[in-house]
Amino acid sequence: MDMELRHLRTIRAIADAGSLTRASAVLGLAQPALSTQLKRIEKALGGALFERGREGVTLTPLGELVLDRARMLLPAARELQEEAVRFANRVGVTPRFRLGGTHGPLFGGLVDRLAEEHHADTVTTHMSWSNRELTAMVATGRLDYVLLGACGESRPAYGGGLAWREVGTDPVFLMLALDHRLAGEREVDLAAFADDRWAAVPGEGCFEDCFFTACARAGFTPRAVYETDVAACVYLSQVGRAVGLCRATMPPMPGIARVALAGTPLSWRHLIGWHPHAPAARTASLVTEQARAAHAAAVREAPDYAAWLADHEGYGTAN
């Protein structure tokens, strides 16, 4: 694992908070996910950064070294980001909607609505699997808006310095082959899939950690997780090679039965972000409104999700 700025922010947050519990609240992560992330960071750096005790955590000598460097690097990176935005946007008002996103029906829906509402030539897009790339492009003025997601209540990975609005929050559903033993159920405990293999679309952030944490709480470790694109994830689910993970707003697919997880151990927040000091901030309310309309339309296109929402508060399109 290569060190990234978000890892340095994690180390700084833990040191400042003095405990993983307090740091997880500051970072917006579940404590098990934060513990898993810290172990990976320590493995990458070659040793323990903190000593754990009943009163919290204290820095090891290696941790003090890394924290000293982090306190120099993080402000410098922020200053560079702000200076780049000022440079990129000093020309004036951005004449079009330059959108960035990862994947999924919401991005297409947002593009379609903006192109319908305004001249189609004013809308341009950039797709990437990398949240880091997309948020950096917004921060440096190469994109106006980014539509991405975050696991549970966590903050967007690499999203520091941007303004964010929630578009909607969806449960994570499972995609099963029609002949899967649980294909006829509406809602199933995660533990019932302990012997299955999994398929998921790769991405940055803490979703992988949250998934493994949810499985651990359910009493098992996944046998295998295939990281694929969306089409391959659907195919592996159709042929019964794996159980696919999907957002509930994903449209129904032929040859696929979708089931919800009891207790909703995994959820996904869709977020729209922009730089607060860029010209795009002037039309941010309009873009947020259109993104939420796209989310509401996606819900209507997924009858099983719409039915699920009737019995579950706190999910669906944001107000």
pLDDT of residue 211: 92
If asked whether residues 252 and 173 sit together in one domain, one would say yes
Domain boundary pick from 57, 89, 121: 89
Q: What is the mean pLDDT of each run of 10 residues along the chain (319 residues)?
A: 87 93 87 90 93 90 94 91 72 70 86 85 88 90 92 74 94 96 95 96 78 94 92 95 94 93 94 92 93 95 94 93
CATH number (domain holding residue 13): 1.10.10.10
Report which of 292, 252, 307, 315 is spatially closest to residue 106, judged by C-alpha positions.
292
Domain boundary pick from 89, 123, 155: 89
If asked whether residues 283 and 137 sit together in one domain, one would say yes
The pTM is what? 0.70
If asked whether residues 234 and 184 sit together in one domain, one would say yes
If asked whether residues 55 and 117 sit together in one domain, one would say no
If asked whether residues 224 and 198 sit together in one domain, one would say yes
**What residue numbers bound the domain in which 253 lies?**
168-267
If asked whether residues 104 and 222 sit together in one domain, one would say no
Q: How many domains does the chain have?
A: 3
CATH number (domain holding residue 272): 3.40.190.10
If asked whether residues 256 and 172 sit together in one domain, one would say yes
If asked whether residues 176 and 225 sit together in one domain, one would say yes
If asked whether residues 273 and 260 sit together in one domain, one would say no
If asked whether residues 161 and 274 sit together in one domain, one would say yes
pLDDT of residue 94: 44
If asked whether residues 9 and 146 sit together in one domain, one would say no
If asked whether residues 238 and 172 sit together in one domain, one would say yes
